[in-house]
A and B are shown apart, each in its own frame.
Chain A
Amino acid sequence: MLGFVARRLLLAVFVLWGAVTVVFVVVRLVPADPALLMAGETATPEQLAALRAEMGLDQPLIAQYLQYVGNTLTGDFGRSYTQFVPAMDLIAQVLPNTALLALLACLLAVGVSFPLGLLAALRVNRFSDRAVTTLSLTTQSLPGFWIGIVLMLVFSRQLGWLPSAGLDSPQSLILPTITLALPFIAILTRMVRSGLIEVMGEGYITTARSKGLSERTVIFPHAIRNALIPVVTLVGLEFGTLLGGAVITETVFSFPGIGRLLVFSIGVRDYATVQACVVVIAVAFVLVNLFVDLLYGFLDPRVRNSR
């Protein structure tokens, strides 16, 4: 078990280093000069040179990279040139909102997709299964931002039941949560369904049945426990999609979260904040996956002993 944890931790550290490096490389591809962007067109050459020195842009690329990795480790991404505060402070303000939104969406998705997937798996190829499968495939095909816009149109513009933007009251969370959860529900339902169908064909289920156990006992402790293991991994992997979805959902609903901060910062070419947002999201994703991997190893001994 200890070796398994160590291997996973090492992989997570490696992946994080890679992610941080990718962000550095991508942002360095910017054709524009960050110092010029920060200082504005009217800056004198002396001002520009001073700013370049301050930002470390006059250093060789490798020194810039080491400096950047060091700063990243301490959570220092430089300051936002539009807001004149450290980029990390901007993120700290909005990160709890996004975390809350993602958590609520996860809970809603798990709460809805498990019963639906179970229902479909136990009634394979009958009406309720067809209905659930069709519905989830359709939902998966809808663009997330479009779902948000339609919900907003119906529930806030037409019916006036819920606020359409911002985060002023708990009600403001309802529409973004549903928008974010819907595609996730679709994927999870399909996964729960196929996982359960696969498990129901296993020999030990036949054994349980032939022991004369009631169908309910066969499904609940026996089938469910093993069907859920792959689903746990999926929740982790799809968490990335969820974070990506948060960027779009937050933009649609003007929700004060990290996704909207990212899109806003891209719009004003505030690369310090863009860099910080992307790294923070990647870190969150890697940590969630690390946690899921460890949980997976804990749930299924075969996983931690392989490789």
Chain B
Amino acid sequence: MTAALPPMITTTPIATPTTATQTMQRARRARRGVKIRITVPIIIIGLYVIGAITVPVIYGFDPLRTELVDRLKPPGTTLSNGSIAFLGTDQIGQDLFAQMMMGARVSLAVGASTLIFAGLAGVTVGLLAGHFGGWMDTVLMRIADVQLAFPAILLAILLASVLGQGLTNIIIVLSIANWVVFARVTRSQVLALKNREFVEAGRALGAGHFHLIVRTLLPGCVAPILVVATVEFGHVILAEAALSFLGVGVPIGVPSLGSTIQAGTAYLTSAWWISTLPGIALAGLVLATGVLGDALRDFYDPTLRGA
């Protein structure tokens, strides 16, 4: 086992002693790196938002229109109406690019709404549990434990199957499956903050519970919540796609990236692009949020950088 180690490990010291100048240079470079890692994903997510809003309008996308002559055309084909489908067409002759951007609409809308609901609920619970402690903390966190006994996607599948298909239902389901993450992060941040001097000072000056929670503790929780929200945005989008793929997500007729991928599985041999391309579009969006989440964490907590 030890013989399999790469030889460089024994020769390279892990922590090289550095001079102060080198340390400063490295810190400056790291800060610049973080700024790039924050800017680029935001631009990419912005492009998705713009594309999701404008492309279906430009293409005059109608999910119910069927063009049989244009079915299953490979990327780059000129269609019967003279336009070029540069990502090909699907099984009912619709332009795949327009359909993917329509799907991105669903992903972004579901992701954003879920974050708002799950975030509001989770942050409130986390603040209350952390601030009051005692029985309230015990009850709320035991509920969170029970919730965590379910793999989130399983709970989502169960709820979605019971509630039925529909955009509102997906948002409800995913909010229920995701509030715990926000609650836990907020609570642990509150626990870390509540014995600090500025909170003590607020209490000594006679601040009430509401003031302490909203004006004193909440601002200190914003950074970790923002990081979690960014990462969860990606998770929620993936979960929506998975639910739609399984057929318990968006209703029939609403194109979602997940349901487009599902529809394409029947044509894997004849039209590979229907299933594969939406997956890449989905991954690009989720990857951008993942990179952004990592970068934000490094930005707010430089001690974690590189870890």
Residues of chain A having any CB pair with chain B under 8 Å = 11, 14-16, 18-19, 22-23, 26-27, 29-30, 119, 122-125, 137-138, 140-146, 149-150, 152-153, 157, 194, 197-198, 200, 214-216, 219-220, 240-241, 243-245, 247-248, 251-252, 262-263, 266-267, 274, 278, 281-282, 285-286
B306 to chain A minimum Cβ distance, whole angstroms, is: 6
Whether A137 contacts B291 in the complex (CB less than 8 A), given A19-B146, A29-B163, A145-B261, comes out as: yes
- B286 near A: Cβ within 8 Å? yes
Is B269 close to A, CB under 8 A? yes
Query: Given known contacts A240-B150, A248-B242, A274-B161, is B258 in contact with A143 (CB within 8 Å)?
Result: yes
B279 CB contact (under 8 Å) in A23, A150, A215 = A150
Contact of B145 with A11 in the complex, beta carbons under 8 Å: yes
Q: Which residues of B contact A (CB under 8 A)?
A: 2, 5-6, 9-10, 12-15, 142-143, 145-146, 148-155, 157-159, 161-163, 234, 238, 241-242, 245-248, 258, 261, 264-265, 268-269, 272, 275-276, 279, 282-283, 286-287, 290-291, 294, 306-307
Q: Are A281 and B142 in contact (CB under 8 A)?
A: no
Complex contact A143–B146 (CB within 8 A): no
Closest B residue by C-beta to A115:
B4
Query: Within 8 Å CB of A285, what residues of B?
Result: 149-151
The reply to whether A153 and B268 form a contact with Cβ atoms under 8 Å apart is yes
Chain A residues near B5: list those with CB within 8 A.
216
Give the distance in Å from the alpha carbon of A244 to the alpha carbon of B150 in the complex.
Answer: 9
Chain B hits for A197, CB < 8 A? 306-307
Instruction: Check B150–A19 contact: CB distance below 8 A.
Output: yes
Task: Evaluate contact between B152 and A244: CB separation under 8 angstroms.
Answer: yes
Known: A119-B6, A137-B287, A146-B276. 4 other contacts (CB 8 A): A146-B279, A149-B276, A274-B158, A285-B149
Interface SS majority for chain A: helix
Closest residue of chain B to A243 (Cβ to Cβ) is: B151
Contact of B146 among A18, A30, A146, A157 (CB under 8 A): A18
Docked complex Cα distance between A27 and B157 (Å): 12
Q: Report 20 cross-chain contacts, Cβ distance below 8 Å, ordered by A residue.
A: A15-B146, A19-B146, A22-B146, A22-B150, A22-B155, A26-B162, A29-B162, A29-B163, A30-B162, A124-B306, A141-B238, A150-B275, A153-B276, A219-B9, A240-B150, A245-B153, A247-B154, A251-B246, A278-B150, A285-B151
Kindly identify which residue among B9, B159, B258, B286 contacts A141, using a CB–CB cutoff of 8 Å.
B286
CB contacts (< 8 Å) of A140 on chain B: these are: 290
B287 and A143 contact, CB distance less than 8 A? no
* Structural contact, A157 and B268, CB atoms closer than 8 A: yes
Per the bound structure, the CA–CA distance linking A124 and B287 in Å amounts to: 21
Question: How far apart sit A137 and B29, CA to CA, in the bound complex (Å)?
Answer: 22
Contact residues in B for A215 (Cβ distance below 8 Å): 9-10, 12-14
- Docked pose: A19 CA to B248 CA in angstroms: 21
Closest to A263 in B: B246
* Alpha-carbon gap, A189 to B271, bound state (A): 35
Task: Give 3 nearest A-B pairs by CB, closest first.
Answer: A18-B146, A146-B279, A244-B153
Whether A144 pairs with B242 at a CB distance below 8 angstroms is yes
Contacts A141-B290, A267-B247: A247 and B153 contacting too (C-beta < 8 A)? yes
| In contact, A18 and B149 (Cβ under 8 angstroms) | yes
B146–A149 CB distance below 8 A: no
Decide if B9 touches A16 in the complex (CB within 8 Å).
no
Q: Which residues of B contact A219 (CB under 8 A)?
A: 9
Contact B272–A153 (Cβ < 8 Å): yes
Cα distance A219–B256 in the bound complex, in angstroms: 48
Contact B145 A247 (CB under 8 A): no
By the criterion CB–CB under 8 Å, are B10 and A14 in contact? no
Interfacial chain A residues near B143, Cβ < 8 Å: 18
Interchain CA distance A259-B122 in the complex, whole Å: 29
Within 8 Å by CB of B142, from A14, A241, A245, A252, lies A14
